[in-house]
A and B are shown apart, each in its own frame.
Chain A
Amino acid sequence: MNEIPQTMALQCPSLTLYAFHLRNSINQGLQPTVSAAPRLWEQLVDLGNVLHIRELQILRQKLICYEGNRYFPEAEDLWGAEYLTLLENNEPSLYFQVPLQAGGLELQGLLCPFRLHDTYAIDLTLCSQDTLTLAQLNYLNPQNLILQNIQASLGKTLLLFGQPKEAQKDNYQVLADACVAQLCPGKHSIHLVDTGSLLGNPIFEYESGLTNPANKLHILVWLKCHDMSSNHMDRVAETLLHLLWCRHKILYVYQQSHWCVIQAKKLYGILEQYRNNYSQVSEKENRRSHLLNLHAKLQQLELDYTNYLDDLTEHEKTITINYINYKTYLEKLEKLPATQLSFCQDFLQYVGNKLQRQIQVDRDYLGMGRDRLQRLKATVRESITTEPVASEPWSGQGSGEQECKSALALQKELHYYGNNTLKINMPGIPRDIYPRLRQALSDCDQFKNHGRLFDFFDANEPLQQWCDDLPEVDNRTERAEKIISYLVRNPRSDGQNNVLILLCLLKDQIDPIKQLYQTLSGLLQELTPILSGASSNSNVVPFPTQTNINSQSLPKAELALEANPKGEPMSSIVADAKQLNCARSVACVSVPQIVSDNLKKIPTGTGWLVTPNLALTCWHVIEARDPRQDSLIRESDLQKQITNSTFTFDFTQPGEGIEYGIERLEHKDVNLDYALLRLRDRTDSPLKKWGFLKLDADVPLTLKTQFYVIQHPKGLLQHRSGGVFVKEASNTKILHNSPTEPGTSGAPVLNAINFRVVALHNGERESEKLREATTIKAILADIKQHRPELYDEIVAVQNPNQE
């Protein structure tokens, strides 16, 4: 690549930078993003300043994750923008003109900023309509700024695209080599990885030898030697972005896993040292004190060591997921005509053979260390118990017993925090309402300063509990944003919604003839059906009116009475325990979608035990077909799906849970959308330990009937949401308003009073913004009619006294 034939040229060349930057990490704590998340956007603004590109200079104003010039990523979450363009008004891209280059060259530019789940991504393209010689190619990377200024934490890929001149057609690789050498002068470590064909045109992959993903250079050169349809090119652009995203995530996460291994190995070295310390304790005088000290250290070591091991497991999973996704995107690309990307296939092999295997080996090796650590800790604990108590305390902080207790207390606290997701009620303020809500709140006098707001929260009992942690900020608008975010993140335990309560209380302190009163009333009406879990009927007033909520005009006892006018159940510890008990019988259902004997995806739903080994879920979950548009499943595919499906119980922590296979499909009904399955028991973990849910077929449902839905939304950890019965959809189905997500199908809809299942959740009725569920009564009647022996089996378990 050293000698560059300067006679070579590209017609209409373009240079695209695909950059991927980490937005979220498991280590971000309570912050909405990692601290360096906005760096990518700041770098683009800097680029705009240096190159005098106005559109980039004012980029912040065009991104939804900025409010003015302030980074405000919460806006993305509130607007549900996890896989979207980040430009305002859903604009797909931002066009700009690059000021004239040396030689009077005109360059056009295009920026597409995305959020891809936990990643910020950009597609930044500079292109020319002219024919550029190799020496002129550098104009596409003005002052080398594209490469130098944009540093993305997950990595970046450069794609050079252009049409070679006729004379060069016999030696495209020489041309590609020359282009890379020209674009990256002095980077001699860049080497050609492989060549391939994309839409019948040659493509070349280059890579630098650096290991840090942020610095590593990955370059593609795609030469347009034949015409391509614009439709195909659009598909390439979209799929390539996702393919490269997966690639960079895999490499980044592998590097992270490598760091974990190094840290864990260091701790392993310390373990050896502690083992020696233990053997020397017997020779010391204050043995108990030394043992307690050693035990505490071992506990800390175990915590750190386990954390690294857990991280390693998480990294391995992330790589596996991205490996599957990469493969899917690659298959999509290779379905395009005349496309053969062997270097992508090689990358997959590299991930499978090298990276994943290496992590496995490391994990196995470090797993032995954990066993040794636990054995040593047990031995030390044993020695402490046998050591006479008369030994002096090991430190001034209290006895060893106390230390052990505090360690246990810490563990409990961590455990509680880990399960906190169970309490989240999936709130969401629609993006069209949010700006009005923010404006209205900031217009209220109570938002003038932090002190007034604090006083307001403190003076109103329904909000008192939240006044101590109110976020402090300098201006009204920001205060309103932070308060909304704070209240959404910290829901109430009584099922009511803090945003609505705040609106109601604020409204009641304003003169009804004022415009702000009308605004707040309007917002209250709009948000009530969305946030309160109450009926969608706009006439329903879910919260007390002025006379019964204004704490300044009423005695406290009356306020407490009036704060719950519908007699809704309060959350009690016993109720929480019952919910957790019910949650044990609920599983995440994974069904491999097999189409004509080919595995396509692994969709998930929710299922639950109706007897110790019979489980109910939706038929469409087991069928793994979309009832909206898929035809009925073929019998052979169905059998394979059933054989390979799993129910995972106790899926309440990442990486945990116990899987059960399906012995057979006992019965199903397409119209009622349910499937009754017999699960395959395990001797090491019998199904009966998960219990089963009690059914309530004859409960009279009224507008006051409250529901809980225990579910695995998006195949994630178990969640619970709450809502109420709204109306009957038919003889066999009901509509409710509990928040649900894809992945909830098959979840039990429990009566909040007696924790018995009244219906099986099916899906969303979009026209009414309500959720549909098949009643247990209808399901039992159908089973009784078609499979009486199964009905008897269920009844015998559900009502043991009846027999």
Chain B
Amino acid sequence: MPTGASPLYYPEQPPPPSRLELENSYFRVKLHDAQAFFQANFLQNADSVIFSSSITSSFQPNSPTQSLHKISTIQRNTPCRLGISTNLTEWLPALPGASLQINIKYTVLQGRPIQKFIDHMQQADLVAKLSLRPDWAVAVKVTNIVGKLLSFLAQEGSQQDLFSLVMDFNVADLRTGYYVVCGSHSDEVWPAPQFLRIDANGRLMERSSDISLSRLSYAVIQVLGLKRLGIEEFRDESWWQLLQTVKENILDTDSTDELERRKLLGEWYFALKQVRESARKRREFLDNEIRDIIATAQREVEQKLRPQVTAEFFGTDDELPYELQDILGIETEQDLQKLVRDYQDALEVSQKLLADYNL
């Protein structure tokens, strides 16, 4: 008869539409569903439940972020489906050493001193969103606001934490799909993990039917995967703007002179080097996607600057210039073509996935 929070389960579920590949895909954590329940004998005057989260990640190790997701009225012995579907993170790169700790709190308020305020919040559909990227400063501000709000609510009425559901995710082991954590304040029989199932509509089911989910609090976390973000996500990046500016400048130039053309190539590689160095500092993006974006730009410029004549000296094969090899980590023209083609394919798949995710 356990109380508190269960371990994190990865229940049986339909195969997720994408898989996570370390260093080669992004993930996003979403609070898919939640339920709060407490027994009649627990709190006599419980009226509202506040559902909030706090996230600590290796991407911003010293800055946990808090979010307030829902304030809802609640009744004893009646499960309260919070019915939320909120992003807990933005798209983050699946890096081997990264980790994420998600702490979801169910807080019960007694008395009705703030009923009006709650009503107002519900009407306004106020949800504080956590954002780790790209506007980190905004996320910090939101966190501060949420912290103050929670503190204010706590002062207004007497409050009691039902329990905290703490989930530690090591990105290296992270899988796409649904994770479930259960909890109860009083002694309840928890379902065995093998009997938990997520159906095709994303609903949590208990297959043994001996145990009712209706007497438990739980949270269903969904991990989504995406191979590539696409250039729209990079438009505010200074390195992307530099890349675009230099590229467009070259594409607009009409050079008929061989010397001029070679000088343009030199300027382009110099710009690419700057772009690569600047972009490397951005841990919020996959290094591979940055490389893909540069490679795509390189192909455009190369096609513009390619001369009509292929020089016939022997012994250089089809190797890329060494500066380009350093920047892109590939060696041949064929590698470059493959990289750009694969990026286009990955973008196409990602666009379709994004549409399916309906975020």
Interface residues of A (CB under 8 A from B): 227, 229, 332, 593, 595-596, 600-605, 618, 620-621, 624-632, 670-671, 673, 713-715, 740-746, 761-767, 772
Contacts and interface: CB of A to CB of B under 8 A. Distances in A.
Contacts of B259: 670-671
A229 B312 contact: no
B357 interface: no
Given A227-B22, A627-B307, A741 B312 contact: yes
Contact of A743 (B96, B307, B312): B312
Instruction: Give the interface centre of B96, B266, B309, B315 by most chain A CB atoms within 10 Å.
Output: B309
A630 B321 contact: yes
Interface of B: 22-24, 96, 172, 257-259, 262-263, 265-266, 268-269, 302, 305-316, 320-324, 331
Contact of A763 (B23, B96, B311): B311
Given A629-B320, A765-B308, 18 more contacts: A596-B322, A601-B316, A604-B313, A604-B315, A605-B312, A621-B313, A628-B306, A630-B262, A631-B321, A632-B263, A743-B312, A743-B314, A743-B315, A746-B313, A761-B312, A763-B309, A764-B309, A767-B308
Contacts of B310: 628, 763-766
Contacts of B308: 765-767, 772
Contacts of B311: 618, 620, 626-628, 673, 745, 762-763
A625 B261 CA distance: 14
A628 B257 contact: no
B316 A593 contact: yes
B322 A227 contact: no
Given A632-B263, A632-B266, A670-B262, A764 B306 contact: no
Contact of B307 (A595, A600, A628, A744): A628
Contacts of B262: 627, 630-632, 670
A229 B265 contact: no
A618 B96 CA distance: 50
Nearest to B268: A631
B315 A601 contact: yes
A744 B321 CA distance: 21
A627 B323 CA distance: 14
23 contacts: A332-B331, A604-B314, A604-B315, A605-B312, A618-B311, A621-B313, A624-B313, A627-B262, A628-B306, A628-B310, A629-B302, A629-B305, A630-B262, A631-B263, A632-B265, A670-B262, A671-B258, A673-B258, A715-B314, A743-B314, A745-B311, A764-B310, A766-B310
Instruction: Give the interface centre of A624, A670, A744 by most chain B CB atoms within 10 Å.
Output: A670
B309 A744 contact: no
Nearest to A617: B313
Contacts of B263: 631-632
Given A229-B24, A767-B308, A603 B266 contact: no
A714 B266 contact: no
Contacts of A604: 313-315
Contacts of A765: 308-310
A762 B23 contact: no
A229 B23 contact: yes
Nearest to B335: A235
Given A595-B322, A764-B309, A627 B258 contact: yes
A600 B96 CA distance: 34
Question: What 4 pairs across the A-B complex have the smallest Cβ distances?
Answer: A743-B314, A631-B266, A603-B315, A742-B314
A628 B303 CA distance: 10
Given A626-B321, A631-B269, A764-B309, A714 B258 contact: no
Given A670-B259, A670-B262, A673-B258, A629 B313 contact: no
Instruction: Give the interface centre of A593, A630, A713, A763 by most chain B CB atoms within 10 Å.
Output: A630
Contacts of A772: 308-309
A765 B306 CA distance: 12
A766 B309 CA distance: 7
B247 to A, nearest CB: 15
Nearest to A773: B309
A762 B308 CA distance: 12
A673 B266 CA distance: 18
A622 to B, nearest CB: 10
A714 B311 CA distance: 13
Contacts of A766: 308, 310
B27 to A, nearest CB: 16
Nearest to B96: A227
Contacts of A602: 315
Given A593-B316, A605-B314, A743-B313, A670 B306 contact: no
Contacts of B257: 671
B312 A742 contact: yes
Contacts of A626: 311, 316, 321
A587 B130 CA distance: 70
Nearest to B298: A629
Contact of B321 (A629, A743, A746, A762): A629
A473 to B, nearest CB: 37
Contacts of A628: 306-307, 310-311
Contacts of A746: 313
A584 B323 CA distance: 39
Nearest to B269: A631
B324 A629 contact: yes
A713 B310 CA distance: 15
B267 to A, nearest CB: 8
Contacts of B312: 605, 740-745, 761-764
A746 B311 CA distance: 10
A530 B141 CA distance: 72
Nearest to B265: A631
A82 to B, nearest CB: 12
Contacts of A629: 265, 302, 305-306, 320-321, 324
A603 B313 contact: yes
Contacts of A596: 322
A434 to B, nearest CB: 24
Given A629-B302, A631-B321, A632-B266, A715 B315 contact: yes
A739 B31 CA distance: 67
Contacts of B316: 593, 601, 603, 624, 626
A742 B323 contact: no
